[in-house]
A and B are shown apart, each in its own frame.
Chain A
């Protein structure tokens, strides 16, 4: 008798280095993205689309941080949550290699204006999206009783194929090989990527992660279904070039989602919440705010300024903040489970967590996002640099947190084995 975990359980866990490589790549991209913004502060103020280093900086966050984290988390967490067998680790390694090399090559192509290099990267990313969607489909087909999460993930993976195809076509057009017959493919791509693929994944995973981390059973399934229906309608309106109606319905869905998340949190069993919840709450507020700012852009004369700021709030304020908050809890948890996998007994996640760093990372990141938005609205490159420095420090500290957790895990393993 003792705190042992049966060996059969490990059938649903990937070898630890696979999800950790996805996360490590994301955590390296986070400070790199801020560093690129610091260097490109002048360019960011004038940015209104187009290829180049500013686009590379933005995609450092969207592809480097967000996409790779979503890929890694879903490959690891979905089989555990849905009781499905995990995907073949060799196939997941293939996904890892294609996705990470695709991101690196694409961003290199963007930053140095090498359209054919970017084309190679975009092709690799399209291939990784296809493999990922196939993996998701395989997991979802075997999953039981998770209709809500399954619907979010399925819809998100469909949109992933649309945006990766559209992204590839835009790079093909940039390389002078094809003309896309539509007026604003970048806006369509950006909106669907943020609020479609990444948004739906975030909404879906929130239904598992938030009640689990806060220990709350206070969920509202009907409200969540309504949110999904309105989100789907908003995405369709965005696809069919009805931005005003899309944004209004998107704002409504975002409000319902954020409201439900706060409602779940209110019904929690844990009275004391860790510092990661500050940044998660901040992310929930930034989602509707981002849509409101984009909506203001469509209603005002200076559309570019507001749309650009709204997209930045969505990327850095909502999605990156949410992922920073969730990873702060998930990384020690995952490492604890991996210790259990090796010796049959988990380590306390709190022993793997550097709490003092967590108290700094969140506020620094939130400060960076706030300053950056203010700088964009008043078009001040100096404040963009100041914001980037705050973000850079937050990113570096988060990377340090990750490395310390790995070191503590190694020490715990040695102690527990001896």
Chain B
């Protein structure tokens, strides 16, 4: 999959705080804008639950960049309820890459 040219490094454990998702431990990486998680290969509801839990841990100016096995249809209404905005970065046969952020932080 052609992804954005973003430098990833392993999560140092400080972000997100109080991380309690052992299944995702090695899938979480720090990037310049916040956190990146690869949910590909995980079954429902891990991508949805993982996204919402990660978002709850982010600071105001941070965003979540996530790779999903397919477009996470169930996630969008939940994001809207929580006041999150998103942009589709990439979508192809290997999955969908989405950036999720708070509107205020980026406008």
Measured CB to CB, the residues of A under 8 A from B are: 1-6, 8-9, 12-13, 80-83, 144-146, 149, 208, 211-212, 215-217, 269, 333, 336-337, 340, 346-350
Contacts and interface: CB of A to CB of B under 8 A. Distances in A.
Given A211-B49, A215-B49, A6 B71 contact: yes
Contacts of B78: 215
Contact of A349 (B50, B69, B81, B96): B81
B42 A145 contact: yes
A217 B23 contact: yes
Interface of B: 20-21, 23, 41-46, 48-50, 52-53, 56, 69-71, 73-74, 76-81, 85-88, 91, 96
Given A146-B44, A211-B45, 9 more contacts: A2-B85, A9-B70, A9-B73, A13-B73, A212-B44, A336-B76, A337-B73, A337-B77, A340-B76
A338 to B, nearest CB: 11
Given A13-B73, A83-B69, A269-B53, A6 B45 contact: no
A346 B74 CA distance: 10
Contacts of A144: 43, 69
Contacts of B42: 145
Contacts of A217: 20-21, 23, 46, 49-50, 53
A340 B73 CA distance: 9
A336 B77 contact: yes
A337 B79 CA distance: 12
18 contacts: A3-B86, A5-B73, A6-B88, A6-B91, A9-B73, A13-B73, A81-B74, A83-B69, A144-B69, A146-B43, A211-B45, A211-B49, A215-B49, A217-B20, A217-B21, A269-B56, A337-B76, A340-B77
A288 B91 CA distance: 45
Contacts of A208: 44-45
B66 to A, nearest CB: 15
Nearest to B93: A8
Given A80-B73, A215-B52, A269-B52, A3 B45 contact: no
A112 B76 CA distance: 48
B48 A4 contact: no
B73 A12 contact: yes
A282 B6 CA distance: 48
